[in-house]
Structure 1
Amino acid sequence: MLELLRKNIFLIVIVIAISIFLFFDNDEIEDKASQSNSASTSSTTDIPKEKIPVQPSTVIIDVKGEILKPGVYEIDSQSRVNDVIQLAGGFTESADQTMVNLAQKVQDEMIIVIPKIGETLAVNEQNGSGNSKVKINYATQAEIEGLNGIGPSKAQAIIQYREENGFFKSTDDLLMVPGIGEKTLENFKDDVQIP
């Protein structure tokens, strides 16, 4: 009987030891998990506010040309050119609506010029003679096509790049447009105005 009691005590001690080990090990795992969760939460909430770029909620746009109410307008920064045109009363009857990208996102200090029908031909001829430069950040596709060595596909690539990446800051930025190399840029560099 004493022998049986010793065997049972030995088994009871082993079971108690295993239970204590599992209990403390489980608590340690839970502590590590809660510390990990709190560390990941604090790392996302402790981001300094200076590092997060702040977009203005509104932008100021100058609308000119063949528009019913030309002027300077303040509009939500997520708006499109079409929204500004509507705010300015819409196009006049003589406006060439094909010369403006209505889907383009607005940007602060943007100038939108709506030409008269047929007016762009005179502008392109003037650019070709060297009397005036193409404002590449605001130019329509037809104006860009008036540049030496630029056809419809390259003009569209310039406009698309400008819409997706923002205004060009220097003429060398045009080299980032697909299809524009150094040789092509040399052909029209002097006919382009950046600011």
Structure 2
Amino acid sequence: MFEMMWSTREKVLVSIIIILGVALGIVLWYPTQSDPPSNQSWQTYSEQDEEEVNQQKEEESNTIVIDVKGAVQEPGLVELEQGARVSDAIEQAGQLTEKADSNQINLAARLQDGEVVYVPQMGEEVSILVLPDKANTTVNLNRATIAELEQLTGIGQAKAEAIIQYRDENGSFTTIEEVMKVSGIGEKTFKQFKDEVSVK
């Protein structure tokens, strides 16, 4: 009887060992089978990300940013497609105001990234209506109008008027550094536009 009981125990132990072995085999086999789909999903996701980044770069290369100022409804930066014209920039800026002098604007002129479009008011004389990149163009402190001075970095209407007043009272600027003698223009402000101005 003891031997029969022992045999039964042995059978139970063998059964448990078999069950554990099968369970362990399933655990070891399942990750091996599931890994490829997981890696495949990761690779697919990475490829989609790369395609989206490339598409975004391509879209950015086909756009330009223009600064529209003066007599328009909504002055500020506008984003346009390559090959856009002044008329497109004005349309993005909410069209002209009632005081705008459209006769001084070349609506058909093509634009490049970083340009400034300034729309003058009636009776205002402006020599530069579409200003190329400031790195390639300077504003002459001795001949510039208020509108042209306002195109300088850090210069608003009040400071532009102060420059004109100083020039009228003291004569032409002999150096660009002399503009720091104008009320409201210190060294910090001067550094912002010093590469955009000239005196000759």
Same fold at TM > 0.5? no
